[in-house]
Amino acid sequence: MVRIYDTLDRTVVLAPDGRAHELQAESAELAKVLLKFLLEPRSRQQVVEYVEALTGATLGKNSVVDQMLGLLTAAGAVEHVDLAAATQRPLRRAARIVLCLSGAVAAMYAPSLISLLQGRGFEVRVAATKNAMRFINTLSIESLVHHPIAADMYEGETRVPHIDLATWADAVLVWPATATTLSRLATGDYDSLVSAIALATSAPVVVAPSMNSGMYAGAAVQRNVDQLVSDGMHVIHPSFGIEVADAPLEREQKLGPAPPVHIVVEMLETALARRGIGKKVTPRSPAEWDELYASGAEQLPWHSNTADADLVAQLAQLAPKPSLVLDIGTGLGQVAVAAAERGHRVVATELSARALEEARQRAPTADVLWLEDDITNTRLHRAFDVAVDRGCLHLLSPSAAARYANAVAGLVSPGGFLLLKTHDVSEGDAHGTTPYERESLEKLLGGSFEIVEEQPSTLPGPDRAPKARLFVLRRSIAFQSPSKTGNRSR
Closest C-alpha among 148, 203, 153, 152 to residue 174 = 203
- Residue by residue, DSSP assigns 143-205 as HHHSSPPB-SSS-SSSSSHHHHHHHH-SEEEEEEE-HHHHHHHHHT--SSHHHHHHHH-SS-E
**What's the pLDDT score for residue 147?**
95
Gyration radius from the chain CA atoms:
29
pLDDT per residue as tens, the chain (490 positions): 788 988 988 999 988 888 888 999 999 999 999 999 998 888 888 998 898 888 888 888 888 899 999 999 988 889 887 755 554 444 455 689 999 999 999 999 999 999 999 988 899 999 999 999 999 999 999 999 999 999 998 888 877 889 999 989 989 999 999 999 999 999 999 999 999 999 999 889 999 999 988 899 999 999 999 999 999 999 999 987 777 777 787 777 776 688 999 999 999 988 887 765 554 556 767 887 888 888 776 777 788 889 999 999 999 999 998 999 999 999 999 999 999 999 999 999 999 999 999 999 999 999 999 999 999 999 998 899 999 999 999 998 888 899 999 999 999 999 999 999 999 988 866 667 889 999 999 999 988 999 999 999 999 988 788 999 999 999 998 655 444 433 332 2
- Residue by residue, DSSP assigns 299-317 as GSTT--SS--HHHHHHHHH
What are φ and ψ of residue 125, in 5° steps?
-120, 155
**What's the pLDDT score for residue 91?**
45
**What's the pLDDT score for residue 281?**
56
**What's the pLDDT score for residue 231?**
93
In angstroms, how far is the first alpha carbon of the chain from the final one? 70
How far apart are alpha carbons 249 and 93 in whole angstroms? 47
- What is the pTM for the complete model shown? 0.52
How far apart are alpha carbons 79 and 72 in whole angstroms? 8
Q: Are 234 and 204 in contact (CB under 8 A)?
A: yes
One-letter-per-residue 3-state SS of 279-294: CCCCCCCHHHHHHHHH
Q: Are 451 and 438 in contact (CB under 8 A)?
A: yes
Element spanning 141, H or E? helix 138-145
**What's the pLDDT score for residue 484?**
42
**Rounded to a whole number, what is the largest CA-CA distance in the chain?**
90
CA dihedral of 274, 276, 277, 278, whole degrees rounded to 10: 100
Query: In which region does residue 18 sit, left (phi positive, over 0), alpha (psi from -120 to 50) or beta (all else)?
Result: left
Q: Are 177 and 197 in contact (CB under 8 A)?
A: no
Between the alpha carbon of residue 83 and those of residues 44, 258, 432, the distances in Å are 11, 37, 19
Quick check: helix, strand or coil at residue 47? helix
What are φ and ψ of residue 423, in 5° steps?
-60, 145
How far apart are alpha carbons 182 and 231 in whole angstroms? 12
**What's the pLDDT score for residue 482?**
47
Q: Are 13 and 19 in contact (CB under 8 A)?
A: no
Half-sphere exposure of 482 (CA within 13 A, CB side): 8
